[in-house]
Amino acid sequence: MDGEGSDQRQDERVLFAPPPFGTRGAEISPWRPGRIEPLGDGAAVAGRTGANASPRSVRWSTYGRKLASAVSLELDRGAAFLLVPVLLCVGSVAYFAADTEPGWTPVLSSASILAAGAWLARAYPPVRYALLALLLIIAGVVAGKIETWRAGTKVIGGEITTRVTARVETIEKRDNGRVRLTLAVLDTERPKLRYQPDKVRLTARSVPQGLEPGMVVTGLARLAPPLGPLRPDSYDFAFESYFDGIGANGFFLKAPEFAGHNVPPSIGQLLNAWIEGRRIGLAERIRGHIDGPEGEIAAALVAGVRAGIPEEVNETLRVTGLAHVLSISGLHMALVAGVVIGSLRLGFAAFPGFASRRSVRKYAAAGALGALAAYLLISGSQVAAERSFLMIAVMLVALLFDRAALTMRNLAIAALLIILVSPHEVVGPSFQMSFAATAALVSAYAWWAERRAGKPHVNPATRSRPVRIVHTVAIYAAGLAATSLIAGTATGIFGAWHFQRVSPLGLVANLAAMPVFSVVVMPAAVAGMVLMPFGLDGWAFGIMGQGLSLALSIAGWLAERTPIDAIGAIPLLSVILLSLALVPLTLATTNAMRLAAIPLLLAGFVTIGLRDPPDALVSEDGRLIGVRTDAGLLAVNRSRPNAFATEDWSRALSAPQLVRPEKQADTTAVPSDRFACADGLCRIRHSSGGVVAHAETMPAAERACGIASVIVIGDATAANPCPHSTTSVITARRLALNGSAEIRFDRSGNATVRHTIAEGKPRPWHDHRRFSRTARGLAPYEPKSKKAGSLPAP
């Protein structure tokens, strides 16, 4: 085996290495390892194409040699390892985006065939690398399937009221005064659920005094399955809940009470309760020193508790591009590590005998690693925090073993670990934006360092003090501007895809506010944590609060002057193309390979310009329709529409204002600027001539047959009332099974409907939908007492 591996590596070096001395102008055959064909003045080309080789042939041959040399250099610099997490990501994304669940047999068969092919093609490196790349993509699919099987979350099929007895896992105090509890369900009664979820998330107006994680509570609660996407290609709440282990959401009908239960907590539950108790206590202590929104932000920065931040503050930070400071990431981790290492080394310096005989930097690195692990646990272990911890941990471990730490390789290792443990994170905004920003910054820094390496070094001592101060400030400002610009550009496509918004003044906001966070807020937070055991943290958190107040003032001032932030939904193809362009831009180290990003960038921006948003959207419960009018407004069929859905639709369709329906006396006219409603039927005409109608019942829908292009019926028991018409009918039952829908009209007014969930067997995180009453064609459940005209029993 060693001999074969040595021969194989020799073949690869011969294939991809630049031409050896004395063979200038030679061509390396990619399919004949080790063979060098001399070109000379075009002789080799002439030998293949005729006596008179065309300049184009010579030019393409030159491009091939340059490309082979660039590939060889990239491989020598470790590009193959950097591509491993990228290919795993591709496989995981493909798995989670598939319409149906792929079976184990085709997945494992494909992996076996690719592995065998890679082994047989070991003498042909290009083929071998291509097969290994496909094998890594299949490995990403396998990782996704394993995580889905491992999650196996029990999700209830429909809404129900029952008494829940559960153990408290987390307590989140909301800005509206309510409390959200994550509960591990122990029992249900009246009725007892046959398919009882293991974990639920419920909101309460109040909770018992002294409630802490680990305690058991009971109360009457209204449970509902997690929501699906509000529209096709939007955020899937059911998907995230499935992998979080949440089987139902809802609220307590009255305040929960303490309850006794004979089921002892597991060791994991005890550990989780202890950690959550420390987080809550830490957040309360910080709020005791810092009042108002500043205190909530301080609690988020230190303890990862973000539920109490007022929504208007969140919105201000989103508009100005400063929301990233709320996520515990590289800045926070680096400051904690720096303070711990500096403090330990300063302490060791007080013992010169010990410091001279021991490698104190290794002890300091080990102490910093432990501090970072504790900080990760106490902050809630979010994706950005995990990525930052893994990167810095790799650097510290490399320091312990006297190894050099390559920054881009650290990022690849962090991505690899997260993908293997939690592959579903790759489709979420946190993973995508976090790794895209970090990869872009690392690549840009490496490019800048390479450019500066060839320039003569200027001794700062030769400059005067004022010049040195101005130079330092200018370098800091330029670095901050470059950091904001690079990170904002790299994450912009993902922000636009997930949130349909950009931050026009993000660069200005980061230039103005980030120095406050870096110089005042975070150092004061670290000092407060260090002094907390001694009870001397009050002044440090006070300074932190003042810094946050200044930063919020800057953000608020800029938010008022931001011209626009909502840009509408962008095509999925644009996201794919621009994401692929980031790979050579950030991972490649040669200009030849970076040029591969140019056609991808051009195609991505062209597809954004050619985007075609849907003409109408339908909610998954069939009660709400939104149609974009010619005036750029969002016409809805309900006087009091769901605010959460309409806000998302307004951003996606670039329709900032709502137009509510009006009652119609003349049932023959169909307006185009708003819905007209009469006798349970609402209608609106699209600019293409197509008519969208919403009917509360099947008899009301029959009046629109042949007139409307699309009819949405909100009655679960209704069937298609227009079987002999060209009218498309969307029933509540169909929406319950296939989720929310979008409607597109052609120039003739013919409608095309696309649902969130494809027809056929649903994915595991949507499988619960088929058990709801609506999906089975049943009317909403009504208690017998209500049918009899009396109040239901308590």
DSSP of 669-694, one letter per residue? ---SSS-EEETTEEEEE-TTS-EEEE
Asked if pLDDT for residue 8 goes beyond 50, the answer is no
Residue 131 and residue 159: Cα distance in Å, rounded?
48
When pLDDT is cut at 50, 70 and 90, the band that residue 15 belongs to is very low
What is the per-residue pLDDT across 200-257, written as a single tens digit (0 to 9) for each?
999 999 999 989 999 999 999 999 999 999 999 999 999 999 999 999 999 999 999 9
pLDDT of residue 696: 93
Tell me which of 261 and 155 has the higher pLDDT: 155
What is the per-residue pLDDT across 612-662, written as a single tens digit (0 to 9) for each?
899 999 999 999 999 999 999 999 999 999 999 999 999 999 898 999 999
Query: Which residues does 166 contact at the CB level (< 8 Å), separation at least 6?
Result: 183, 184, 185, 186, 200, 216, 217, 218
Residue 544 and residue 131: Cα distance in Å, rounded?
54
Tell me which of 660 and 340 has the higher pLDDT: 660
Asked if pLDDT for residue 29 goes beyond 70, the answer is no
Residue 225 and residue 766: Cα distance in Å, rounded?
10
Section 660-667 average pLDDT: 81
What is the per-residue pLDDT across 541-550, written as a single tens digit (0 to 9) for each?
999 999 999 9
**Structural tokens at position 644:** 């959460």
Of the listed ranges 101-110, 178-187, 496-505, the least confidently predicted one is 496-505
When pLDDT is cut at 50, 70 and 90, the band that residue 308 belongs to is confident
When pLDDT is cut at 50, 70 and 90, the band that residue 784 belongs to is low
Residue 110, CB-side half-sphere exposure with 13 Å CA sphere:
19
Section 459-470 average pLDDT: 75
From its phi and psi, is residue 81 left (phi > 0), alpha (psi between -120 and 50) or beta? alpha
Section 183-201 average pLDDT: 94
pLDDT of residue 481: 82
pLDDT of residue 148: 96
**Structural tokens at position 281:** 């206590």
As a whole number, the mean pLDDT across the chain is 85
CB atoms within 10 A of CB 746: 11
Residue 559 and residue 553: Cα distance in Å, rounded?
10
CB 123 within 8 A of CB 454: no
Residue 681 and residue 552: Cα distance in Å, rounded?
48
From its phi and psi, is residue 436 left (phi > 0), alpha (psi between -120 and 50) or beta? alpha
Tell me which of 594 and 17 has the higher pLDDT: 594
CB 318 within 8 A of CB 501: yes
Section 262-271 average pLDDT: 85
pLDDT of residue 289: 93
When pLDDT is cut at 50, 70 and 90, the band that residue 742 belongs to is very high
pLDDT of residue 461: 67
Helix (H) or strand (E) holding 483: helix 465-499
pLDDT of residue 52: 56
CB 622 within 8 A of CB 604: no
Q: What is the CA radius of gyration of the chain?
A: 31
CB 442 within 8 A of CB 395: no
Asked if pLDDT for residue 324 goes beyond 90, the answer is no
pLDDT of residue 404: 64
Residue 293 and residue 413: Cα distance in Å, rounded?
37
Section 564-581 average pLDDT: 90
When pLDDT is cut at 50, 70 and 90, the band that residue 378 belongs to is confident
CB 399 within 8 A of CB 337: no
pLDDT of residue 790: 41
Task: Give CA angle at 105 (99, 107), nearest 5°.
Answer: 60
In percent, the amount of the chain with pLDDT more than 70 equals 89
Backbone angles phi, psi at 131, to 5 degrees: -70, -40
What is the per-residue pLDDT across 43-60, written as a single tens digit (0 to 9) for each?
444 444 444 556 767 677
Among 755, 560, 741, 566, smallest CA distance to 650 is for: 566
CB 30 within 8 A of CB 68: yes
pLDDT of residue 50: 47
CB atoms within 10 A of CB 120: 12
When pLDDT is cut at 50, 70 and 90, the band that residue 406 belongs to is low
Section 266-276 average pLDDT: 87
